Structure 1
């Protein structure tokens, strides 16, 4: 379900951050934002309900969008095989999260409608069944990220050819 896909995405984030960090050392604020958002998602998965998980998921989605916007300034990073693989994997997970969210919300809608009609409303009242919350995404999170390409990208330290970087040689978990 949603939890499984959120965990998969959360476990992918450190590899993604380390890969980008190899090319964009000075983007510390972005890395901290992603790390904080990931931590919040993990906490929400431990003890939060769907609403808490949705809020944390929205924060991580926004932080990852910002990370990818930063990555746009580094052509060598865009060309790195492991970055492309992580980006593809993240995209696949995002699709699975969307499908799981649709399935969950469909079931919540069905359940919430069911406990409001006779005779289920009486049974629901006797046993304390209450309406469940939907897993909602932040509408603002769907907005496009604006990226400023007017400034020159910083030249990453190290090999200008893009080969031999520690980020290129790191293994991804999967």
Structure 2
């Protein structure tokens, strides 16, 4: 009786349980979710010139705020992180800081335009503002989905038996999840409707 078929079947079963398929599957899922994050940030960057031009027509004296938004958009779109950089926390943090700076600039722009009743009732402005709000929500969803995929991947490459294949065959490194970088982001804001 030959032991070769038994050894081949045992070896195949052992290798199948070592993450040969599941590790790259989890890695590709995380990279796909990263692409979703980038897509939503690109959507926001594409909307900003339209918003800025609409505001310019009504609020020429707010040039400083408009310039700040335009510059923040340029910085945010210049910082690129591709799927291969996801295991480098410094690159992911630099990307997130640029995106957070853009979010802050947009917030200041929306506060500044409240002084212009004609602008805030303009249909084009309202549509753009709604698109930006929708995009911000989609960014949050994409980041949450990315973090879930990173968690699944990082867990897979660190737990038995997939950790064996992850280290031996792929040299897998943990990916970096997004985290709140805005000071105080972990604390809910206080809403107060009382007159002072």
Q: Same fold per TM (> 0.5)?
A: yes
Name the TM-score class by shorter chain: 0.7 to 0.9
Aligned-residue offset at 1:141: 8.0
RMSD: 2.0
- 1:33-44 matches, within 5 Å, as 33-44=68-79
Answer yes or no: is 1:91 the counterpart of 2:126.
Answer: no
User: Is the Cα contact below 8 Å between 1:51 and 1:133 reproduced in 2?
Assistant: no
User: Is the Cα contact below 8 Å between 2:166 and 2:172 reproduced in 1?
Assistant: yes
**Residue deviations 1:42-88 (CA, integer Å, cap 9, x gap):** 11236675433322211111000000010111111101110000001
Moved more, 109-118 or 80-89: 109-118
- How many residue pairs align between the two structures? 144
**Residue deviations 1:13-53 (CA, integer Å, cap 9, x gap):** 01111111112212222112111211122112366754333
Distance 1:40 1:84 in 2: 26
Distance 2:130 2:184 in 1: 20
Name the counterpart of 1:9. 44
Name the counterpart of 1:158. none
Which blocks of at least 5 consecutive residues in structure 1 are unaligned? Answer: 145-174
Name the counterpart of 2:18. none
Answer yes or no: is 1:29 the counterpart of 2:29.
Answer: no
- 1:15-164 matches, within 5 Å, as 15-45=50-80, 49-126=91-168, 127-140=170-183
**Residue deviations 1:101-150 (CA, integer Å, cap 9, x gap):** 11100010111111111222232222221111112343348587xxxxxx
TM-score (ref. length: structure 2): 0.67
TM-score (ref. length: structure 1): 0.75
Name the counterpart of 2:22. none
Structure exhibiting the larger radius of gyration computed from Cα positions: 2
Which blocks of at least 5 consecutive residues in structure 2 are unaligned? Answer: 1-35, 86-90, 190-196
Considering fraction of residues, name the structure with more helix: 2
Distance 1:88 1:140 in 2: 26
* 3-state SS of paired residue (1:27): helix
